[in-house]
Structure 1
């Protein structure tokens, strides 16, 4: 099913807020609401629900889901023509998200969204990643099984029920994320993740295109093509980006000298490190430390 895609950056993972059932008889319509400040996931278990969000009308059939945005106006666009039953789940996120037309647009602005997220979510590391959730979806059997578990815990104590629902919601999101990716994109994403993992585990070492070729058994041109598709940058550019991110952690968390930090993250010359850092951050390593770290 072709659909717009909501691109979330985590951590933190979008979190569960509340859930419930709703029933509509023939002639009933969905409630009219505006800017409810949470994402509203609607899953139709039976019947058909006609709903409008801002100026777009959606028809959600049995076994399908629709995510309504927290800052939108949504309401029933037409009365139900048959008895209809839905599950609704409210969830929210802290940090960056963006609505994209398709996966190519998601991947094209991924790094930009991660950088925005780090500023909003106060993250000074390079471990942020993407979660891709279709706005309108046909739910797989596994996704439906996960969502039904939300209501198998009604007899649990509230504190235990909330923990379990959070876990169930994360499993549900994982199914949506994996079900969305096409075989072609899945192959590219898996290889790009292998490149990213190798870099994150060995960034302080001398990594070259030849090293990556030997490690992953793919030509450097193909590795670059895959990284450009998934991360928007080449492996070598990502390596520099990752080293700079790790150096920011050390600038904030240690009293090491700039030269020691440069060497620790894989820069052999402090002048090269300082130039790269200043170009990316708009201030020198020592200026960054002075601005964001308390005196030690």
Structure 2
């Protein structure tokens, strides 16, 4: 993954937005934009673009930012009718690339910072996909700044007059950049949730302590709860209990331990609570699970 980092101020600004309608068999043009960034967002179909020797397939809800100075071209014709919006934008400030995003740490306000803004960075993944829930929001923003329509069906390029003030156009453009910037935050939440899952899988016998978990991974407890819930649909405690029950199911198949022993082995201090959680998750009591037909330690995998 390549990230583009814009040093601000000044902020990147919109030049023009448009929409293109490509037919099956159409190919994106070959060109180099000397000073202009080109953001492409696909609403339907797929574009096949090559930039600086790297090939990208941009499908529905995916986007690609083409930096200035690099050759980009279509390396394959559209295999179906394709609709996409595009934005040309520019910055008079400094920008650079890296394989990792910049984590912004704001310093505390003090009296020396009244009259000058500290430099901050907007880090955008060059290529990515937005969530389906943001599709209509992104489309509305892109449509609202569109002043050009390229229609391959009718072989025409149409230009439209401004319908908003320049401030409104720039505000909409920054909202688009905010959606792309926030993709990294969603990735971090996903990564955190997966880290918590791995930790529970290895330490399921340990007592549950959310504050200790928060201290261990340097995140607020509420952030951990939100991340795990978003990824797995469970609270951290529910996730841990599910893992414990899955471990207990394997032990029940072996028929070497009593229910009370198994409860202790998987981290429960109360066998009654273990039985209650087991039934809540599996709809069976531990003994019903052990005695049901087909439970065989040599063939059952969880």
TM-score by length of 1: 0.51
Say if 1:59 and 1:185 are closer, same or farther in 2 by CA, change over 3 A.
closer
**2:128 is the alignment partner of 1:137:** yes
Say if 1:48 and 1:164 are closer, same or farther in 2 by CA, change over 3 A.
same
Unaligned runs of 5+ in 2: 106-114, 148-159, 193-213, 219-302
Cα displacement (A) at 1:96: 1.3
Q: How many angstroms apart in 1 are the aligned matches of 2:135 and 2:93?
A: 25
8 A Cα contact 1:7 1:130, kept in partner: yes
Cα displacement (A) at 1:171: 1.2
Cα displacement (A) at 1:146: 4.0
Counterparts of residues 68-147 of structure 1 (less than 5 Å): 68-103=66-101, 106-107=102-103, 125=116, 127-140=118-131, 141-142=133-134, 144-147=136-139
Cα displacement (A) at 1:157: 6.9
Residue-by-residue CA offset, 1:21-44 (whole Å, 9 max, x unaligned): 111111110011113421000001
Cα displacement (A) at 1:81: 0.7
**2:17 is the alignment partner of 1:26:** no
8 A Cα contact 1:147 1:172, kept in partner: no
Name the counterpart of 2:5.
7
Cα displacement (A) at 1:148: 2.0
Root mean square deviation, CA, Å:
3.2
Name the counterpart of 1:63.
61
8 A Cα contact 1:153 1:161, kept in partner: no
Q: How many angstroms apart in 1 are the aligned matches of 2:188 and 2:119?
A: 23
Q: How many angstroms apart in 2 are the aligned matches of 1:173 and 1:154?
A: 16
Counterparts of residues 144-223 of structure 1 (less than 5 Å): 144-152=136-144, 158=162, 160-181=164-185, 182-183=187-188
Say if 1:47 and 1:154 are closer, same or farther in 2 by CA, change over 3 A.
closer
- The count of aligned residue pairs is 173
Residue-by-residue CA offset, 1:23-78 (whole Å, 9 max, x unaligned): 11111100111134210000011101000112111110111000001111111001
Counterparts of residues 15-54 of structure 1 (less than 5 Å): 15-54=13-52
- The structure that has the greater radius of gyration is 2
Unaligned runs of 5+ in 1: 112-123, 188-217, 223-296
Q: How many angstroms apart in 2 are the aligned matches of 1:80 and 1:142?
A: 25
Say if 1:143 and 1:164 are closer, same or farther in 2 by CA, change over 3 A.
farther
Q: How many angstroms apart in 1 are the aligned matches of 2:10 and 2:135?
A: 21
Structure (1/2) with the larger helix percentage: 1
Which portions of structure 1, spanning 4 or more consecutive aligned residues, are displaced by more than 6 angstroms? 153-157, 184-187
